[in-house]
Structure 1
Amino acid sequence: VEGIDLSPEGMPHMSIREGKICGVPTRLMRVSFTGELGFEINVPADYGRSVWEAVYERGAPLGMVPYGTESMHVMRAEKGFIIVGQDTDGTVTPEDAGVGWAIGRKKADFVGIRGLKRSDLTREGRRQLVGLKTADPKKVLEEGAQIVADPNQPIPMKMIGFVTSSYWSQVLGHSIALALVEDGRALMGQTLHVPMQNETIAVEVTGTVFYDIEGGRVNG
């Protein structure tokens, strides 16, 4: 890397710098979809493969290995990073998804401001994104599975939410899940139930971040 200070002070998380990598002009972004300290390398398309091969060749002796999208999905869920369209749908607001901090509330106007003030989008009882931890750590929930408060209620049961993402976390040693649940953030620590094909699984409502809660790794 030429012309770019890669130190945390010189290039903090969410910053962009221009320079060269392997002699090729590049736009380097310090971003992460895994919760780890990471960079995105932007080079002209014709140089993409050669830069990748050069980076891999130099990184291999240091233990660098490539990983695929399945691993990336698990890591992003461990950090509570959402996938739009999987952990959200067209009814979910930034507040519902726990990213209300991204709304420019000091701005006098912005695209979508009127929609956010609609009574249905500010009412109580909206589905909110939360984490789920199974009572049996080895049980992995099915994505799309419905959630109930009382598994013994008469049929038809009242469904209060559904699982949006679910994985086995090797680093944590137990399964993790994200879900949209009615007033979910008010239910932290409570036990809910997920009926599946052959059994009903008890889950604890948690925050959406399961790993490195303080964010030290991505900011290191």
Structure 2
Amino acid sequence: MSGPDARRVLGKVCKDIEIDKRNFEFMAWRSGTVAGIDARIFRISFTGELSFEINVPSQYGLHVWMSLIEAGEEFGITPYGTESMHVLRAEKGFVIVGQDTDGSMTPSDMNMNWIVAKNKEFSFIGERSLARSDSIRDDRKQLVGLRPVNKSEVLPEGSQVVFDLNESIPMSMQGHVTSSYFSSNLGFGFALAVIKGGRKRFGEIVYCPRPDGQVIAAEIVDSVFYDKGGERQNV
């Protein structure tokens, strides 16, 4: 359940857990009851909005769902699907492992160094791999955002990225588009991509040739397009 009123909706059907910001912090979980059913509630978000994920035994899923819909009527609650979720998460630069990454990428490539605690008093699995010379090259493919020069265009997912349209064929592929959508919040098409040395190339224009001969030009930008400070999920 996601959105600015998620806490108020949950509070109507969950009375035995303190769900205010101070007592139920982001990335925490609690056990309690939701609509009278034993549940585990996780305060995590894949949309960038204030969100709660609710786990109950499968036979009670419909009951809890209908109870939440009823509780949320006064707030205009509505179901949303995976396409909406993907647009929201991509606006925030949240990656899908296996779509925006591959087996060769490191947390640093994804601008996620914060996820690795390098100040541990002991070694950990993968530590040596992260320190290899190949893993810290400046020209590795790195996660960035792409903003089409023509705001109405949407880059096809999987498009190859080139720097120089005048380069002779075969052209040097510098990366590819991993996720691409049109955003109603932003008012333009946007994409996530992995590009060689991408984080040092903000502001540069790159090109995505299409099979029909058309070319889409896009600017390399930060991978977070919306709510960079995370205020919407940290309320």
CA distance in structure 2 between the partners assigned to 1:183 and 1:94 by the alignment:
15
Aligned pair partner of 1:91 in 104, 121, 146: 104
Match of 1:183 in 2: 197
The residue identity in structure 2 corresponding to 1:174 is F
Aligned pair partner of 2:165 in 145, 151, 162: 151
User: Would you say 1:196 and 2:210 are equivalent positions?
Assistant: yes
Match of 1:75 in 2: 88
Match of 2:220 in 1: 205
The residue identity in structure 1 corresponding to 2:63 is S
Shift of 1:101: 0.8
| Greater displacement, 43-52 / 28-37 | 43-52
1:34-79, CA deviations, whole angstroms, 9 ceiling, x for partnerless residues? 0110000011222112111111122123200000001100110000
Percent same amino acid among aligned pairs? 48
Shift of 1:119: 2.0
| Greater displacement, 94-103 / 40-49 | 40-49
SS, match of residue 232 in structure 2: helix
SS, match of residue 155 in structure 1: coil
Match of 1:13 in 2: 26
SS, match of residue 233 in structure 2: helix
Preserved CA contact (<8 Å) 1:79 1:213: yes
SS, match of residue 188 in structure 1: coil
| Greater displacement, 202-211 / 13-22 | 13-22
CA distance in structure 2 between the partners assigned to 1:124 and 1:138 by the alignment:
32
Match of 2:41 in 1: 28
User: Would you say 1:217 and 2:228 are equivalent positions?
Assistant: no
Q: What is the TM-score normalised by the length of structure 2?
A: 0.91
Shift of 1:90: 0.5
Aligned residues: 220
Match of 1:45 in 2: 58
SS, match of residue 47 in structure 1: helix
Gaps of 5+ in 1: none
Shift of 1:122: 1.6
Shift of 1:200: 1.1
1:134-189, CA deviations, whole angstroms, 9 ceiling, x for partnerless residues? 00000000111000111121111111110000000011110110000000000011
Q: Mapping of 1:55-134 within 5 angstroms?
A: 55-107=68-120, 108-134=122-148
Aligned pair partner of 1:4 in 11, 17, 20: 17
Preserved CA contact (<8 Å) 1:131 1:205: yes
| Greater displacement, 126-135 / 11-20 | 11-20
Gaps of 5+ in 2: 1-13
Q: What is the TM-score normalised by the length of structure 1?
A: 0.97
The residue identity in structure 1 corresponding to 2:163 is A
Preserved CA contact (<8 Å) 1:96 1:127: yes
The residue identity in structure 1 corresponding to 2:83 is E
SS, match of residue 218 in structure 1: coil
Shift of 1:100: 1.2
1:10-57, CA deviations, whole angstroms, 9 ceiling, x for partnerless residues? 212111112111111111111110011000001122211211111112
CA distance in structure 1 between the partners assigned to 2:22 and 2:72 by the alignment:
23
CA distance in structure 2 between the partners assigned to 1:70 and 1:210 by the alignment:
17
| Greater displacement, 79-88 / 22-31 | 22-31
